[in-house]
């Protein structure tokens, strides 16, 4: 596909950008050719976002230059970059949910007619959609669209403004496998008509599949730019992390592992989400002592509510939650804690941590009621610091100062802190939602090892994840969620990623196979 | 062109320095406005300082202003710790004063015992006054700012009714005051009574409770992130209710101390806006109980200065406008503290 060296559309030469105490980009060179998909691969904090923010005019580099179609350019604002034909689709869509697709396409665009009506905007949108081969529904409101459809609107908006260079920031993070395939096809079509695409990701498989060339960044430096055909999974992982990574394959090591009695039991559980919309629909699920049950599915299909009814944060409106056979209906989060259930919540900053409070205060959030921290009604700060130090050390969190607010820690460190804190209290079960989200490859590895470790101690683990590979490698059973229902449960060793992928997208055509554990 | 750079966190001393700079800047702007209006600012400033510090009497007067300000400031500060605004300190102050007056006029017993009873009565009166807003906030998520504020007007009118109606002392020349309450808070020095000691001690006790008790930890956690507190197993509505009742009680205690220590009778306007100024004191203190002490002293100097300034024909509203200016500067300063202007010369470190 990239056999004949095409001309360079964009050249970044010696781009350097420093923030206080951090070199985000260190003399990075990058060439983007017309008609290629160029993947930008790296761990969190490797400098991918900074580099793209420089290319799109959000940041100014401290040193280095940007050459666009052979001419040196300087963008002092994102508007200038857009005018020069560089468009970016951010990971978090910048669409107005209450507006229609047509309205979003025409918002803040100087080619929008001065006098508009809905019909005219929709006609123009249809014409644009045909021109770029992106199927959208012009009259639909954004909030009614799936993530994949919203993404197409974003891409159409960028292309309609004349972008020749399209930057996609982790575009598949929110998509079902089917939607991801459709995106890959669309990306292929862009490049075939001469556009250049920068594809930011940390998923090795999809990068290998879609990219022509791959540039790996590590700790602010460029490690290599390689043709995708010369790369393997292992080679890329090693380049990214700087050492070899072996994902734990618990199945082979532990073929004779036998789970114990049912510890967590949901029967016919339904509940609403925060908007009052049904989010769980008569869920039946058992988790046994000493087994990991994975929950697969695209985020937003009831996973959050599932973890919340299992930890007392949300009350079921129907059905029953049992812990070790005891009904927990109406039980408070404190009672679930007493029953030995740890909870790594989905959004740690919103519900798992108090961002403005000290690291130490956050570390003891689950154990402050017990001695040595509590002595009668008293709260003993010296004991708090001691326990916090232990948790922080166990979690290998780098903390400059235990009194520093926890929001000063990096996302990965916050995640490790929460996970370790919850594992300490998870005597019966651990409910972990996306525990590896935001972690780099090395940290994912140790997080999964922790989960296996506590499973082997006889704790029941419910693991919610978007990473199928992760689920299949460590879970004993995998249940697929779609629109508040469990579409099917599989023994992980028999499960096929493709079938799970179809169920994640709600394709009931793939018949769920119930397999006894 | 300047480009501002927002930093994620700032050091505690930066916060304190920002607050001091904000106060100084607000006073400087106030001085400019007074100068523009034709006042002799240096002389005014000198007189204000002398009015608070020149002699023992001035210090006693300052102390009498500072004691209720500490308590109403503390009342607002405890609710800030759990993320709520009690704007109703004024009403709770009056409610405490009413409770103490009624008990003090009706019951005759051992004076030492009665002072304890009056204190408890004042506390309960204030707590009762905030009970409905507190229940509505804790269990129905009704905005406490509006409800606590509106009850102030009810309390003020109720005091006017009592002091001109049922509790009016017919033997008095003044038509809007009750009879003298027969119990006095012992004095510390001159006119200054032990209310100041009570206020300072309470500020310290509250600070200790917040830092060294489980209840205090739960309140701080609920204030920092209510979702995380719920997740941690804390009964958040109950803590909201308790904190608001404590706040109302402290403001009520301030009212009780004012009628038994300073004014000795209930009459309209005894609060001197202490309830509202308490909110300012709490904001100046950054919601920290110990910070309330210096903040209350600063506010006391401004109020005392206001009395001096009025002798120059400055109206009390101009003085209150000055306090508003300070609050505005602090709010702006608090945001600005998070921004840095990167120096071009220091490129490699930015």
What does the pLDDT look like over A191-228, one tens digit per residue?
888 889 999 887 777 888 899 999 998 888 898 899 99
- Within 311-340 of A, beta carbons closer than 8 Å to B belong to 311-313, 332-337
pLDDT at B3: 59
Q: What are the backbone dihedrals phi and psi of residue B189, each rounded to the nearest 5 degrees, phi first?
A: -155, 130
DSSP secondary structure letter of residue A353: -
State ipTM: 0.82
In this complex, do A337 and B233 lie within 8 Å of one another by their Cβ atoms?
Answer: yes
Which residues from B are below 8 Å from A when comparing CB atoms?
7-9, 211-217, 220-221, 224-225, 227-235, 347-350
- Using CB atoms, pick whichever of A313, A336, A354 lies closest to residue B225: A354
Least-confidence region, from A116-120, A287-291, A378-382:
A116-120
Question: Cβ of A361 and B221 within 8 Å?
Answer: yes
What whole-number distance in Å separates Cα of residue A154 and Cα of residue B142? 39
- Percent of chain A past pLDDT 90, that is, above it, reads 39
Judged against a pLDDT cut of 90, whether residue B236 lies above it is answered with yes
Nearest Cβ partner for A354 among B211, B212, B221: B221
For chain A, helix, strand, coil in percent to 5 are 35, 25, 40
Q: Distance (Å, rounded) from C-alpha A240 to C-alpha A246?
A: 13
Contact residues, chain A, for B211 at CB < 8 Å = 379, 381
A37-41, A50-54, A434-438, B95-99: range with highest mean pLDDT = B95-99
Which candidate, B223, B221, B233, B140, places its Cα nearest to that of A313?
A: B233
A contacts of B8 (beta carbons < 8 Å) = 407-408
Could you give the C-alpha distances from B221 to A215, A356, B15, B228, B247, in angstroms and in order? Answer: 44, 9, 21, 8, 18
pLDDT confidence of residue B9: 65
Reduced 3-state DSSP string for A253-317 = HCCCCCCCCEEEEEEEEEEECCCCCEEEEEEEEEEECCCEEEEECCCCCCHHHHHHHCCCCCCCC
Q: Is the pLDDT of residue A2 over 50?
A: no
Phi, psi for residue A147 in degrees, rounded to 5: -60, -40
Instruction: Inspect the interface and report whether the beta carbons of B225 and A351 lie closer than 8 Å.
Output: yes
Please answer whether residues B93 and B156 qualify as being in contact, where contact means their C-beta atoms are separated by less than 8 angstroms: no
**pTM (2 d.p.):** 0.75
Residue A507 pLDDT grade (very low, low, confident, very high; cuts 50, 70, 90): low
CB contact under 8 A, A350 and B225: yes
Average pLDDT, chain B: 89
A489, β-bridge pairs: A479
d(CA B3, CA B5): 6
Q: At what angle do helices B56-81 and B195-212 cross, to 10 degrees?
A: 30
Q: Which of B9, B228, B347 sits opposite A405 (nearest CB)?
A: B9
Indicate if the pLDDT at residue A113 is higher than 80.
yes
Helices (H), A42-176: 48-55, 78-83, 101-106, 118-132, 147-160
A334: closest CA of chain B, how far (Å): 4
Query: Looking at A257-261, A344-348, B301-305, which range is the least confident one?
Result: A257-261
Q: Where would I find the beta strands (DSSP E) of A182-220? A: 196-201, 213-218
Contact B350/A62, CB-based, under 8 Å?
yes
**DSSP conformation class of B186:** P
DSSP A359-396: HHHHHTTTTTTSTTTEETTEE-HHHHHHHHHHHHHHTT
H or E stretch covering A462: strand A460-464
Nearest chain B residue to A371 by CA: give it: B214
Tell me the per-residue pLDDT of A457-494, one tens digit each, with 9 for 90 and over: 899 999 998 777 788 888 999 999 988 899 888 888 77
Residues of B in contact with A352 (CB under 8 A): 228, 231
A83 touching B (Cβ < 8 Å) = no
The answer to whether A226 and A213 are in contact (CB under 8 A) is yes
Whether the per-residue pLDDT at B348 is higher than 70: the answer is no
User: If pLDDT is split at 50, 70 and 90, which confidence band does A170 have?
Assistant: confident
Banded model confidence at residue A275, pLDDT cuts 50, 70, 90:
confident
- The residue length of chain B stands at 350
Confidence class for position A263, pLDDT limits 50, 70, 90? very high
Task: Quote the pLDDT of residue A472.
Answer: 83
Question: Which residues, listed in sequence order, are joined to residue A264 by a DSSP beta bridge?
Answer: A287, A323
Residue pLDDT, tens place only, A38-55: 999 887 667 888 899 999
């Amino acid at each position: 596909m990239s056999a004949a060296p095409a001309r360079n559309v964009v050249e970044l030469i010696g781009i350097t950008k420093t923030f206080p105490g951090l070199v985000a980009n260190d003399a990075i060179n990058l060439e983007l050719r017309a008609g290629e998909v160029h993947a930008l691969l790296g761990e969190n904090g490797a400098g991918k976002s900074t580099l793209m923010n420089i290319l799109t005019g959000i940041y100014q580099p401290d040193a280095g230059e940007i050459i666009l179609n052979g001419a040196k350019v300087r963008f002092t604002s994102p508007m200038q970059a857009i005018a020069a034909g560089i468009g970016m689709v951010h990971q978090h869509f910048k669409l107005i949910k209450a507006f229609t697709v047509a309205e979003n396409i025409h918002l803040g665009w100087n080619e929008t007619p001065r006098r508009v009506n809905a019909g005219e905007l929709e006609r123009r949108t249809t014409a644009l959609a045909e021109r770029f081969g992106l199927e959208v529904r012009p009259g639909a409101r954004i909030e009614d669209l799936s993530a994949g459809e919203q993404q197409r609107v974003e891409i159409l908006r960028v292309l309609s403004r004349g972008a020749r260079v399209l930057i996609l920031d982790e575009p598949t993070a929110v998509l079902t496998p089917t939607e991801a395939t459709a995106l890959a096809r669309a990306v292929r079509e862009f490049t075939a008509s001469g556009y250049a695409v920068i594809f930011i990701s940390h998923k090795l498989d999809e990068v290998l599949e879609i990219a022509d060339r791959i540039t790996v960044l590590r700790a602010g430096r460029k490690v290599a730019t390689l043709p995708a055909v010369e790369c393997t999974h292992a080679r890329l992982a090693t380049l990214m992390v700087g050492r070899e990574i072996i994902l734990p394959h618990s199945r082979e090591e532990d073929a004779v592992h036998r789970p114990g009695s049912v510890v967590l039991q949901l029967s016919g559980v339904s509940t609403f989400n925060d908007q009052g919309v049904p989010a769980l629909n008569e869920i039946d699920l058992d988790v046994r002592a000493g087994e990991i049950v994975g929950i697969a599915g695209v985020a937003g299909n009831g996973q959050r509510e599932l973890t919340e009814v299992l930890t007392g944060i949300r009350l079921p409106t129907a059905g029953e939650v049992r812990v070790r056979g005891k009904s927990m209906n109406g039980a408070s989060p404190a009672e679930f804690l007493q029953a030995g259930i740890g909870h790594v919540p989905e959004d740690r900053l919103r519900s798992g941590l108090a961002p403005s409070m000290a690291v130490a205060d956050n570390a003891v959030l689950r154990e402050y009621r017990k001695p040595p921290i509590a002595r009668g009604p008293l709260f003993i700060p010296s004991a708090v610091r001691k326990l916090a130090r232990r948790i922080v050390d166990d979690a290998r969190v780098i903390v400059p100062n235990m009194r520093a607010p926890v929001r000063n820690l990096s996302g990965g460190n916050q995640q490790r802190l929460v996970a370790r804190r919850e594992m300490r209290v998870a005597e019966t079960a651990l409910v972990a939602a996306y525990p590896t989200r935001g972690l780099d490859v090395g940290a994912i590895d140790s997080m999964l090892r922790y989960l296996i470790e506590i499973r082997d101690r006889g704790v029941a683990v419910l693991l919610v994840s978007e990473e199928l590979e992760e689920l299949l490698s460590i879970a004993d059973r995998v249940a697929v969620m779609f629109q508040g229902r469990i579409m099917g449960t599989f023994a992980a060793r028999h499960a096929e990623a493709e079938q799970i992928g179809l169920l994640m997208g709600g394709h009931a055509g793939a018949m769920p196979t119930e397999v006894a554990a | 062109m300047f480009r501002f750079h927002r930093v994620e966190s700032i050091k505690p001393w930066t916060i304190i320095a920002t607050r001091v700079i904000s106060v100084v800047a607000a006073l400087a702007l106030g001085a400019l406005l007074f100068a523009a209006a034709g006042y002799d600012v240096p002389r005014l400033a000198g007189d204000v300082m002398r009015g608070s510090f020149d002699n023992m009497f001035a210090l006693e007067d300052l102390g009498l202003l500072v004691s209720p300000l500490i308590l109403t400031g503390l009342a607002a500060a405890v609710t800030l710790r759990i993320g709520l605004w009690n704007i109703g300190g004024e009403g709770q102050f009056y409610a405490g004063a009413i409770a103490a007056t009624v008990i003090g006029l009706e019951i005759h017993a051992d004076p030492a015992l009665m002072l304890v009873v009056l204190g408890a009565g004042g506390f309960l009166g204030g707590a009762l006054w905030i009970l409905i807003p507190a229940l509505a906030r804790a269990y129905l998520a009704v905005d406490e700012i509006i409800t606590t504020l509106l009850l102030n007007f009810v309390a003020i009118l109720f005091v006017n009714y009592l002091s001109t109606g049922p509790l009016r002392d017919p033997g008095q020349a003044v038509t809007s005051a009750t009879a003298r309450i027969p119990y006095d808070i012992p004095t510390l020095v001159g006119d200054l009574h032990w209310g100041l000691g009570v206020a300072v001690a309470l500020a310290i006790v509250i600070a200790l409770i917040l830092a060294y008790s489980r209840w205090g930890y739960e309140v701080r956690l609920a204030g920092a992130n209510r979702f995380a507190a719920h997740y941690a197993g804390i009964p958040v509505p109950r803590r909201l209710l308790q904190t608001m009742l404590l706040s109302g009680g402290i403001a009520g205690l301030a009212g009780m101390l004012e009628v038994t220590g300073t004014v000795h009778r209930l009459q309209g306007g005894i609060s001197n806006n202490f309830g509202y100024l308490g909110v300012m004191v709490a904001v100046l203190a950054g919601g920290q109980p110990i910070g309330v002490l210096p903040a209350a002293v600063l506010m006391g100097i401004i109020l005392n200065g206001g009395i001096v300034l009025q002798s120059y024909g400055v109206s009390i509203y101009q003085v209150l406008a000055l306090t508003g200016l300070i609050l505005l500067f602090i709010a702006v300063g608090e945001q600005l503290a998070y921004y840095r202007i990167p120096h071009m010369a220091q490129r490699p470190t930015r």
